[in-house]
Amino acid sequence: DIQMTQSPSSLSASVGDRVTITCRASQGISNSLAWYQQKPGKAPKLLLYAASRLESGVPSRFSGSGSGTDYTLTISSLQPEDFATYYCQQYYSTPPITFGQGTRLEIK
Amino acid sequence: EVQLVESGGGLVQPGGSLRLSCAASGFTFSSYWMSWVRQAPGKGLEWVANIKQDGSEKYYVDSVKGRFTISRDNAKNSLYLQMNSLRAEDTAVYYCARDLGSTSCYDYWGQGTLVTVSS
C-alpha cells in the first residue's frame, strides 16, 4: 500500500498569507494526486487532481505542483473561507486508495 | 445538478448489520465508478470500497474485506453498502462519492450518514 504523509499536521496563518502544504508518497505516484478541502461538518471538496489540474469552480489562488513522491498545495493569498482541513489522496496504485492524515489550517 | 444522498446510518450493536444507501441524481449514474469513503469522529478520510460502472469489479480496504459488500442498482440510480459484523472501529460518517472520469478521485460527495457501533 502507498502511504501518504502530509506536513505540517497543523498550520496557523493570516489572511493574505501564502501557504504551502506538502504531501509525500511512500513511492512514486506519477502525478496521480488529488487535494481536498474539508470544513467542519461538511463533505470534502475536490480542489485539484492530477497534481496540478484545478477543478472547475475552484479559485485560481489554489495551485498544485510536484512529481515523483513529493507534491505541494499552495494557496497564494489566504482568504477567510480557506481556513479548513486539507487532505491529499493518491490514486496511482489502487486498491487501496489512500489519503494523507490531513493538515488543519487555522487563523493566526 | 449532481446530487448524492446517503441514508441508512444509525446506532447498531457490535456484531450487528446495517445497509447504507446512496441515491444519485443529476448525472448518468451507470457511467461512473462509485465509492464509499468514511471518516471516524475527529479523524481523517479512509477509502472503504469502490465499484465499477456495471458492478463487475469491486474493491475493499483490508479492514472491511469479508464483512462489507458494495453493490449498485443502475436502474434505481443507487449505491449500497451492506455492513455486517460491525465493530466499534467502524463508527464513522460514511460518504458516497463519484469518481472523476477515469481517475479514482472524487468530484462529488454526499452529505454523509453517521454509523455508530456501540453497546
On the 0-12 / 13-18 / 19+ scale of CB atoms within 10 A, B26 is exposed
The answer, yes or no, to whether residue B119 has pLDDT greater than 80, is yes
Per the CB < 8 Å rule, is A44 touching B106? yes
pLDDT digits (tens, 9 = 90+) for B1-21: 999 999 999 999 999 999 999
Using pLDDT thresholds of 50, 70 and 90, give the confidence band for residue B83.
very high
Q: What is the pLDDT of residues A26-46, one digit of tens each?
A: 999 999 999 999 999 999 999
Q: Which of chain B's residues have a Cβ under 8 Å away from the Cβ of A89? A: 45, 105
Q: Which residues of A touch B (CB under 8 A)?
A: 32, 34, 36, 38, 43-46, 49-50, 55, 87, 89, 91, 94-102
Query: How far apart (Å, rounded) are the C-alpha atoms in residues A26 and A62?
Result: 24
Q: Mean pLDDT, chain A, as a whole number?
A: 97
Q: How far apart are CA B73 and CA B83, in angstroms?
A: 17
